[in-house]
Structure 1
Amino acid sequence: MKNNYLKSGPIFLAFLCMGFGDVVGPLTSQLQADYELTNFMAGLVTFMGFIMFGLLSVPMALFQDRKSRKFVLLLGMVIALIGLVLPILGDFSSFGLLLGALLLLGTGATLLQVAGNPIMRDVSPEGKYSRNLSFGQFFKAIGSLSGALIPLMAAKYWNLDWKILFPIYSVVLLIAVIYLYVVKIDEQKDEEATPASFGSVLALLKNPYVFFMVLAIFLYVGAEVSMSAKLPNYLAHQFNYDIKELGLWGTLFFFLALMTGRFLGGVILNWMSPTRFLKVTTIIAMLGILGLYIAPSAVVGFVSIFLIGLGFANIFPLVFSITIDAMPERSNEISGLMVTAIIGGAFVPLIFGAVADIFSLMAGFVVTLVCIGYIFGLSFYKRK
């Protein structure tokens, strides 16, 4: 089967929209200033973005096993679109309404993750699932990066702020809904496989191979969120960067490296096996983290940040696709489990923060090193 760009096009667009859910990170500090929020209230912004990954992923994976992945993908887009339109209709006057909108956006992103990752296999040529999933994550990285870049450009050139994200995202999502609706996708199903259920999900989680791979997603997402949140603090701590004016470039540089790495990963996977590439990319990530400790200047610090982004870039799609390819007949249950594990982004940063408070900021980065070290060790694990 050759790559059918008509059918894969809306899936790549769905991955772009998936990245819109990451806007809760860049929005937090801006909303805290505009609505005069306490730190606890500001924390609700990221909480709304993550909570549905833990609550809905497995139930929606079971639902799509009976309905279809395309239906769940469309449903996620529509829910996210409603979430984006509500604050516009309310003229951004109510923080409570905005929190509800972000909850809907997080719900939509959850559904897009649950359906988008396995449906990519349905539109990918034989043996090219990992490659296409890396390209999909490249598009997601563009969506994630837009949450920080668009407000900066809007403020500089048009005297606007973060609110411009909502109409822009709404238009893109509307286009994605129409495009996906009109395209027919033949979903791969094993007719002999038993239907997915909570029992089959729990049985899969008892499988050591699946458990270890799900834990890898939990730790990876936690490490990525920790990096995007703490790299500005790193630049301030090590090189006296002003967080408000220059520190944000640490996060932006990290996201740019993620985007670059995911594009390169899609190319590299044309000739390198996913398991071997997982070893290479985790080594690069660990070298980048170690570089933070020995960087004698900001230039070397930014090189280390770029290496971290390159190394992190393809871990999620590699772990996901390797597991799905090992057990394709259970792709819906595996997708639900792995998307549930994204909630690691809410817990690992708490551990990072606790270690940083007790010891030092640089000690906190050891937490991310341990997370990636685990995935590196897992890359040698052979499924029996």
Structure 2
Amino acid sequence: MTLDNQIKYGKLVPVMLCFFAMGFVDLVGIASNYVKADLDLSDAEANIFPSLVFFWFLIFSVPTGVLMNRIGRKRTVLLSLIVTFASLLLPLFGDSYGIMLCSFSLLGIGNALMQTSLNPLLSNIIAGDKLASSLTFGQFVKAIASFLAPYIAMWGATQAIPEFGMGWRVLFPVYMAVAVVAILWLGATPIEEEAPDKASGFSSCLKLLGSPFILLCFLGIMCHVGIDVGTNTTAPKILMERLGMPLDDAGFATSLYFIFRTLGCLSGAVILQKVASKPFLGISVACMLAAMVLLFVSTDLTVIYIAIALIGFGNSNVFSIVFSQALLAVPDKKNEISGLMIMGLFGGTVFPLLMGFASDAVGQSGAVAVMTAGVIYLIIYMFKLKR
């Protein structure tokens, strides 16, 4: 390995640890189910938590793109990690409705800052046609944190030392410790950044949505994260509704989703170096469409697990493909494009709210119908790609 490669990978490791910290946001899926049980909430009320987390992407993503032009990408990532640390600290002081609302709000704000700044920061280390596969590898690392969250919560709920008195909330201090390591390691790592984008105003960022392709990418991100958060939140509820499973057992469905999403990211990081984005996205959305059909018609545990696995695998590379396509479309405005694309994570607010109302009205099949609409859009988006 050459000296340049050693330096590159030395910088890549702390950045990938930040991708792991980015995955902390996905604890909201299993956490909302436990909060629902603790506080006896309805589906619509419980789905406020994931919706609240992703609401802040609408508010903070574009301003973060502007902020990066002022203070730099690395400093913005460090700020996001500090906010994430604060969000994980709050639940140690109680589990009331108000505390959890504040915690999830800070988690959403920190993640909006992180997702907006971390992806373009990676482009300072890995550039060109390797960017999509590198972003996918980052999503693989992120997914590890995502699928570990339900296991840590279930361990806390069933096996943790009673003297801790934390139950499932033990996952907060575990992830908080990782956030501290990420802050210290990235802070000590020198990363040379590109010059700030020329356009640095809020309105100039939003004007980029006037480009038809950028708008398509924005809506594609909304659908991707809507399906992601929707499956994360709804998979255990489907098992509880149709098979009468207790939450501690049904929570495995969330882990299963993230296990296959992790496998999909890992394989995608390799495949996308050799296969064009369009055919690979076609395979991904085909997996998700098949899964939605299975979730509509089946009450069999194995079939439901297969459907959840297909969604995890199919949805694993959508973000990386859409995000990289947007960055490559307007390469001179990466900060602004990043802000816009991460604002699309607001889909994580829209989808759970619609799914909550639909499931309260007609059961979990209503929630599946909302996710299916997102899959159909991604099929349309796939045909708009050139390659």
In the superposition, the TM-score normalised over structure 2's length comes to: 0.89
How much does 1:227 deviate? 1.8
Q: Give per-residue Cα distances to partners, 1:265-295, cap 9 Å, x unaligned.
A: 1121121122332122112221222233454
1:366 equivalenced with 2:379 (yes/no)? no
Are positions 1:78 and 2:82 aligned together?
A: yes
1:175 to 174, 181, 203: 181
Equivalent position to 1:310, from 292, 310, 313: 313
8 A Cα contact 1:241 1:247, kept in partner = no
Once the two structures are TM-superposed, the CA of residue 42 in structure 1 deviates from its matched residue by 4.7
Residues 185-214 of structure 1: per-residue CA shift (max 9 Å, x gap): 122347xx6322122212201111111110
> Displacement of 1:15 after TM fit?
1.0
1:55 matched to 2:89 = no
The AA in structure 2 aligned to 1:220 is H
- Paired letter, 1:5: Y
1:26 is matched with 30
Amino acid at match of 1:73: V
Q: Is the 8 A contact 2:133 2:273 kept in 1?
A: yes
> Alignment partner of 1:128: what SS?
helix
Unaligned runs of 5+ in 2: none
The number of aligned residues is 377
Q: Which residue of 141, 159, 162 corresponds with 1:139?
A: 141
Q: Using the TM superposition, give the Cα deviation of residue 264 of structure 1 relative to its aligned residue in structure 2, in angstroms.
A: 1.3
Distance 1:291 1:360 in 2: 16
- Name the CA distance, whole Å, in 2 between partners of 1:23 and 1:296: 26
Identify the range of structure 1 (37-46 vs 278-287) with the bigger mean alpha-carbon deviation.
37-46
Alignment of 1:246-261 (within 5 A): 246-261=249-264
- Tell me, what secondary structure is at the counterpart of 2:27? helix
Partner of 2:230: 226
Counterpart code for 1:68: G
Match of 1:211 among 208, 215, 218: 215
Q: Does 1:346 align with 2:349?
A: yes
Question: What's the counterpart of residue 337 of structure 2?
Answer: 334
Aligned partner of 1:99 in structure 2 is 101
TM-score, normalised on structure 1? Answer: 0.89
Alpha-carbon shift at residue 250 of structure 1 (Å): 2.2
Deviations, residues 13-32 of structure 1 (Å, cap 9, x unaligned): 11111111222221223234
Distance (Å, rounded) in 2 between the aligned partners of 1:56 and 1:117: 16
Q: Once the two structures are superposed, what CA deviation does each residue of 1:208-232 show, in whole Å capped at 9, x if it has no partner?
A: 1111110111122112222222222
The one-letter amino acid of 1:272's match is: V
8 Å CA contact retained: 1:2, 1:125? no
Q: 1:156, CA displacement in angstroms?
A: 3.9
Distance 1:226 1:98 in 2: 20
Distance 2:46 2:186 in 1: 35
Query: Does the CA-based 8 Å contact 2:206-2:340 persist in structure 1?
Result: no
Instruction: Determine if the alignment matches structure 1 residue 319 to structure 2 residue 322.
Output: yes
* Aligned equivalents of 1:220, 1:195: Cα separation in 2: 28
1:300 paired with 2:303, answer: yes
Q: CA deviation at 1:129?
A: 0.7
In structure 2, the residue matched to 1:116 is: 118
The Cα of 1:159 is off from its aligned counterpart by 3.5
Partner of 2:284: 281
Deviation of 1:38 after TM superposition, in Å, equals 4.6
Per-residue CA deviations over 1:52-107 (Å, capped at 9, x if unaligned) read 2111111111110232110100000011112323443xx32755344323322221
CA distance in 1, matches of 2:333, 2:124: 14
Q: Equivalents in 1 of 2:299, 2:25: separation in Å?
A: 36
Amino acid at match of 1:18: M
Cα 1:293/1:199, change in 2 over 3 Å: closer
Question: 1:94, 1:353 → 2: CA distance?
Answer: 21
Instruction: Render the CA deviation track for 1:120-176: whole Å, top value 9, x for unaligned.
Output: 211115321111111111111112223211021234443352232222112111110
C-alpha spacing 1:18/1:245, structure 2 compared with 1 (3 Å): closer
| 8 Å contact kept, 1:222–1:346 | yes
The 3 A distance-change label for structure 1 pair 44 and 223 is closer
Q: Name the stretch that deviates more: 301-310 or 53-62.
A: 301-310
State the alpha-carbon separation in 2 of the partners of residues 349 and 105 from structure 1. 17
When structure 1 is superposed on structure 2, of 220-229 and 61-70 the one drifting more is 220-229
Q: Structure 2: how far apart are the matches of 1:63 and 1:312?
A: 30
Q: Relative to structure 1, is the Cα distance of residues 167 and 355 closer, same or farther in structure 2, using a 3 angstrom cutoff? A: closer
Mean Cα displacement is larger for which, 354-363 or 248-257? 354-363
Is contact 1:236-1:243 (8 Å) kept? yes
Q: In the aligned structure 1, how far is the partner of 2:340 from the partner of 2:209?
A: 8
CA separation of 1:5/1:319 partners in 2, compared to 1, >3 Å: closer, same or farther? same
For residues 237 and 59 of structure 1, do their structure 2 counterparts lie closer, same or farther at Cα, with a shift above 3 Å needed?
A: same
Question: Once superposed, what is the RMSD of the aligned Cα atoms?
Answer: 2.5
Q: Which has the higher contact order (CA 8 A, sep 6+)?
A: 2
Residues 233, 221 of structure 1: alpha-carbon distance in 2 compared, 3 angstrom cutoff: same
Note closer, same or farther for the CA distance 1:352–1:337 as it changes in structure 2 (3 Å cut).
same
Deviation at 1:364, TM superposition (A): 3.9
User: What is the aligned partner in structure 2 of residue 267 from structure 1?
Assistant: 270
Letter in 2 for 1:289: M
| Identity rate, percent | 30
